[in-house]
Structure formats: structure tokens, C-alpha cells
Amino acid sequence: MAMSHQKATSTAPDHGDVRIRAASLSDLAAVVEVDAADTGIAKPAYWKSRFEWYVGRRPDRFFLVAERQQEMLGFIVGEVRAWEFGSPPSGWIFAIGVSPEARLHGLGTMLFDAICVRFRKAGVSEVRTMLAKDDRLIMSFFRSLGMMAGPFIQLEKRLEP
């Protein structure tokens, strides 16, 4: 997909003094909290390992947060991956979360746009993600940003014990 989008917003964006910046280790606890609010499961060890992989280590890995007055309101995680599944280099989004009370004010869109700018600067022209087919919220969100079904299909099989 093209990595910019034009859409008419039904709710006026209310970005206020929100800023998007690279995450740092001090954001770990807030990310665990936002993710736990989204998924119902706190996963501190998982997010610690994701911080080790994504935060400040490589120019093609991105962990961005949205904050207003030092309060972390949302995050997005992705990286440029090349040649896996035979795919030329492209930007992959692996996680996004916006604090429940901050939703529907354009923060998810800001985070998506910000990581797409970084993907473009890293030299790729496609952005991809994967989601559960029946997750209507995340599907509506990504569809609203212009993302569409791509050329790959996920297959799986239960392994024998």
C-alpha cells in the first residue's frame, strides 16, 4: 500500500500537545500497562524482551510512543524485514496500543503515520501487518488507514504430540 493516506475524519483530531518519540527503557512499565488494558494480560517479561530487541539498537527497528505532558498514551512497534516468505524488504507493524481513555482522538493514526515515515526513510515502500480476522476493532483501524488484504496467506497445522 502507499504509505500515506488521506481520509475524512468523522471525529475532529484532538492531538493537543501530543508528541511521538522513540521509546526508552523508562517507558517499559507504561507499555506493559497499556497492553494489559488492551489484552487483559500483563506480560512484563515479554515486553522487556521486546524492548531489548527494538529500543535503540538498530536503525531498522522502531518502537515509538505517543505522550502528552510526560504521560505515555500509546505505542507502536515495527521493523523492516527482508526476504522472509520471499518478500522484498518491507515495513512490518507487530503491535499497536492506545490507552483506552485516549482512543478515538487520532493517536493511533499519528503512531501509524510516524512509523510509516520511518519505514520510508529506511528505504521501503510497503507496510504490512497481521491480525486476527475477527478482530473488528483493529481491522477497522487498519482499513481506515488504507491497508488492504495483501498477496500472502497464513497457513498453520496443529503439531502431533
- 85 φ/ψ angles, rounded to the nearest 5 degrees: 60, 25
Q: 49, 32 in Cβ contact below 8 A?
A: no
Longest Cα pair distance anywhere in the chain, in angstroms?
54
In terms of DSSP H, where are the helices of the chain?
Answer: 28-39, 44-54, 107-121, 136-144
For position 26 contacting ligand COA by CB under 6 A, the verdict is no
Which listed residue (6, 11, 70, 154) binds ligand COA by CB under 6 A? 11
For position 140 contacting ligand COA by CB under 6 A, the verdict is yes
- By CB under 6 A, what part of segment 35-74 binds ligand COA? 38-39
For position 130 contacting ligand COA by CB under 6 A, the verdict is no
Q: How many CA atoms lie within 13 A of 12 on its CB side?
A: 2
Size of interface with ligand COA, in residues (CB under 6 A)? 21
Which listed residue (23, 107, 114, 124) binds ligand COA by CB under 6 A? 107
Which listed residue (104, 130, 150, 152) binds ligand COA by CB under 6 A? 104
State the amino acid at position 71 in one-letter form: E
Neighbours of 6 (CB within 10 A): 6
For position 98 contacting ligand COA by CB under 6 A, the verdict is yes
Instruction: Write out the residues near ligand COA by the rule CB under 6 A.
Output: 9-11, 38-39, 95-98, 103-109, 137-138, 140-141, 144
